[in-house]
Structure 1
Amino acid sequence: MMNPMLKSILGFILLSLASSYLVGRAVIVFLMFKNAPARLEEFRVNADFEVKFADQFRNCEDALMVEEDGVAILSCDAGRDRWNTVMGTFPEDPSQVPSGELIIYHYTSQKESINRVTFLDYPAANNFHPLGVEYHRPSNTLFVCNHHPNGSRLDVFSMDLSKSEATATYRSTIADPVLKGPNSVVAISDHELYVSNDHYFLKRYNPWLSTIETYAGIPGGAVAYVNVKSGTVRPVAHVPFANGVVQLNETVLAVASTSTARVYLYQIQPDRSLRRVDSVKLPFLPDNLSIDKRGTLLIAGHPHPPSLEKVAKSRPRCQADAADCPNVHAPSWVAEWKPDGSYRNIFVSKSDFITSSTAIRDADRKLGIVTGLYEKGILVWREENPL
């Protein structure tokens, strides 16, 4: 028989773990109640906000600021209306879904022009559904998480932004069982990456189990270390709904956990494994992360997941030009956090610009960009007195 003292200790440990878990899920339920559109309090910092290019592209999930070249790389997919592996939108014939695109936004030019990236020697050009995008400028290497109909993968390209024409030449594809659902990617060198995988159970194969994994906050998602040169792909952290990932500094990696409304901070070990050291609690569910030149973490996400699900379910009825898209809204939330612990909201809206998924900023030029998962164009803000 088990020693009574040992039995009591084990019982206390199990009760503590269960209580901590239940409190965590109760917080998420409370956020869904508090952030319902009827109760959500809108907010904007003292800045000029403007939606741009609404008639030229839509459904941009990720974005990346390349300040040295005065451009932003936008990861957009009009086909997301009918093909979204994370939200669970699948057509009978995926080949009829239009491919996504990468767009270069020249935000420092007088006319703030855009041009679309042309892919060269790319076998999956007609099955391109991008999410996370990363650009390693010293090596002109572009990494894109592509949710291909035949299985998600990480595609690698060469792209030189100094040239007048935006072209990306295909180099390779990384497809591995560890990269089940690659969502976000960050390069720590020209050949080393951390890639988030949002779920263990994917909507396209196990829709019910995927839903349970999301709402129960089960740590089925993972962060994988990828070494392009050696071919190494291995999980280094397990995170509930692992979403945006960004390197805060040389030794710390930040990972958004959508289903726990937190950003987890990990110390990068010499062998590239990760050790969790802290977390940041948020009043909304984070999607993607970015870091500006001054070390400020920008966080975009979703205040009210049920509203986002309604938008996703309504979108298959959209036509190619989005003219017939149902008028369904899901709120947006953008905030910033600094390593000293200071936090500030930037943009909270019910309908002006919906489904925010990424926020990026050129701190020197005081210009920021927000993308919307199911939104036309991008939201650009210019702030006179940033924190």
Structure 2
Amino acid sequence: MPFTYLRKMRAEEERQRLFSSRSSSSSSSSFTPSSVPVAGSPNRAIKIGLLAILIVPILLNLPWFHSALGPSGMPDLWVRPTSEASTIAAIAARPECYPVSGGEDFKFCEDLHLIPGSEQETVLISCDANRAGWNTVMGPLNSPETRGGLFTYEYSTAAEQERRKAVKVELRGFASESEFHPLGFSLLGPSEGGGKGRRLFVVNHGKLRSSVEVFDLKQPEGGKGWEAHWFKSVVHPLATHTPNSIHAISDRLFIVTNDHLFARRPGPVDSHMGPFLSHVLFGSFNVEGWKSLLVESLAKVLHNRRVAAILAQMETLLGLPLGWVTLVQLEEDGKARAKVIAKGIPFANGLVLTADAKTLVVAATTYPGVWMYDVVAPTPTSFYTSFPTSERFAWDSRLHLKTKLHLPFRVDNLAFTSYPTTLNSTDIFSGHALLATGHPAPLKLIAMARNPTKKTSPSWTISITPNPTSSKMTVGEEWEDKEAPLPAHHFLLSHNSQWRIRTLLQSTGETSRAGKQGEDEVSVASSASAFYRPYAGWDREGKPGGLLMVSGLYCGLTACDNVGT
């Protein structure tokens, strides 16, 4: 009897416990519906977090993505006149543009610079008529065999029939079986080159790897034209991974930009990718153990052309800050040592060094704009004080990022005007104007790279000078670029009152009529570089303005007279 009673009591307690548990569960579900199912809450939070990670950066950078689409309303061709006045003299001095010819190979031109000390003022131009078949930056990578070339153009000649003709430079001593696809280059003067010629450094994008080819540029005895005598080839994992633009400081020292971390055409696994990745990941070219295995595996993956193309394209389209600047010193034994002096640059492209070697300017293509660095010279010693002023940029120099300046397009190459444009020699540019040239519609440039004969891409060249007032605009004050069809200040992601930005040339890239009587057909597409020679100090009868030349990455060379700054 007692045992039967106890069993009944336990059964009753169990029924009460189950009833209480069900009631509590029902009550909870009726009053807090958002908590059901409880197990799904962490998953939902993770999904929301991942979505926020993707969307928030896009919203924050919406102006940047919008700028990649390019502006509308670009003129077929507009060049800054020397005067906005409507006088007869001003009308007679309007800009006149004409194409420079040079044969079938004279097209798809990247860079141009004045040949220092040339008797007839002459520019050197790097072109690659095969760029549509071999482009290690944008693609494709189909046929590297057909060579590019170097050309000279005597723009100061008085003969009208010669003034529009570029002449090809003969390469002497450069192996005929070697690929030659020139991009950026830099020239030293006759006294700086260490020889009879002018030392020339050329970035070359070969089939298997990139290099810096060193030549001596000379004029043949008693003859006309120019010859480039090959001297040596420079290869280094930090300097020639994705080299783009170059600036020679002396015959043994130069700086070079590398535009991408992920190379579309990677160098050899053992001699390039391995040491490069070792240095990037571990700060040393030689690693052992598990580090060596990791580097070897990564090198093989990144050497795959399909993987490399995808990663390089993502780096470009997302504007990832993975480019850098390398300082290279050539040793007496023929070897090269290199070190990174600036990094974290989105698509490090063109670069220039001021005449006093105190400021380095680098084109950050996908920023978009330019980054300016102060050059911190090494502590003076008996060794360094023997350097010329231009060589205060020595192996032990350091860079300090001073200014990031937004520009209205994806900047390609930079250059200073060949002669000062103002009498103010005390400013940061010593009276020169900084020329920036590039691509206002990068997506159209990508399309043109795939089909340059049927597509086109706009062009834009500007001049940058220090603002002497360095003050904010006052009410009623006008922008300095108001005359341009598309004023630069309308397309800047941010404004900096310390700098004056003025458009020199704008074009849709479409063919337009030019010349005094409209006799010339001019196409200024995919602008890459610019050269400006002020008339001041030149035998042009005291005329204002100057000569502007603009090269096209998938075009030729266009020259314009009577251009203002």
TM-score range, shorter chain: 0.7 to 0.9
Aligned to 1:182: 243
Aligned to 1:10: none
Aligned to 2:66: 30
**Aligned residue type for 1:114:** A
- Kindly indicate whether residue 107 of structure 2 is the aligned counterpart of residue 58 of structure 1: yes
Q: Which of 193, 213, 232 is the matching residue for 1:172?
A: 232
**Aligned residue type for 2:110:** E
Native 8 Å contact 2:102 2:167 kept in 1: no
Aligned to 2:22: none
Native 8 Å contact 1:24 1:260 kept in 2: no
Q: Which structure has the highest helix share of the two?
A: 2
Q: Distance in 2 between matches of 1:282 and 1:124?
A: 41
TM-score norm. by structure 1 comes to: 0.85
Native 8 Å contact 1:226 1:234 kept in 2: yes
Which runs of structure 1 show a deviation greater than 3 angstroms over 4 or more consecutive aligned residues? 18-25, 38-43
Native 8 Å contact 1:225 1:272 kept in 2: no
Q: Distance in 1 between matches of 2:73 and 2:60?
A: 22
Question: Cα–Cα, structure 1 residues 232 and 374, in superposed 2: closer, same or farther, change >3 Å?
Answer: same
Where does 1:121-270 land on structure 2 (aligned, <5 Å)? 121-123=173-175, 126-137=178-189, 138=191, 139=193, 140-161=198-219, 164-178=224-238, 179-204=240-265, 205=305, 206-229=308-331, 231-238=336-343, 239-249=345-355, 250-270=357-377
Native 8 Å contact 2:252 2:329 kept in 1: yes
Unaligned runs of 5+ in 1: 1-17, 316-324
Native 8 Å contact 2:100 2:166 kept in 1: no
How far is the alpha carbon of 1:381 from its aligned partner? 1.2
Q: Which of 490, 495, 504 is the matching residue for 1:346?
A: 504
Q: Distance in 2 between matches of 1:267 and 1:21?
A: 31
Question: Cα–Cα, structure 1 residues 334 and 162, in superposed 2: closer, same or farther, change >3 Å?
Answer: farther
Aligned to 1:11: none
Q: Distance in 1 between matches of 2:408 and 2:69?
A: 12
**Aligned residue type for 2:203:** C
**For 1:177, what is the secondary structure of its paired residue?**
coil
Q: Distance in 2 between matches of 1:20 and 1:54?
A: 51
**Aligned residue type for 1:104:** T
Aligned to 1:286: 411
**Aligned residue type for 1:170:** W
Question: Cα–Cα, structure 1 residues 106 and 143, in superposed 2: closer, same or farther, change >3 Å?
Answer: same
Percent identity between the two aligned chains: 28
**Aligned residue type for 1:31:** S
Larger radius of gyration: 2
Aligned to 1:381: 560
Native 8 Å contact 2:359 2:374 kept in 1: yes
Unaligned runs of 5+ in 2: 1-53, 82-94, 266-304, 378-395, 421-431, 468-498, 511-522, 539-545
Aligned to 1:334: 461
Q: Which structure has the highest strand share of the two?
A: 1
Q: Distance in 2 between matches of 1:261 and 1:193?
A: 25
**CA shift digits 1:73-104 (9 cap, x unpaired):** 0000001010000012111x533xx1000001
Q: Distance in 1 between matches of 2:348 and 2:69?
A: 23
**For 2:69, what is the secondary structure of its paired residue?**
helix
Where does 1:300-319 land on structure 2 (aligned, <5 Å)? 300-315=437-452
Q: Distance in 1 between matches of 2:401 and 2:56?
A: 17
Q: How many residues align?
A: 353
| Bigger shift: residues 71-80 or 244-253 | 244-253
How far is the alpha carbon of 1:48 from its aligned partner? 1.7
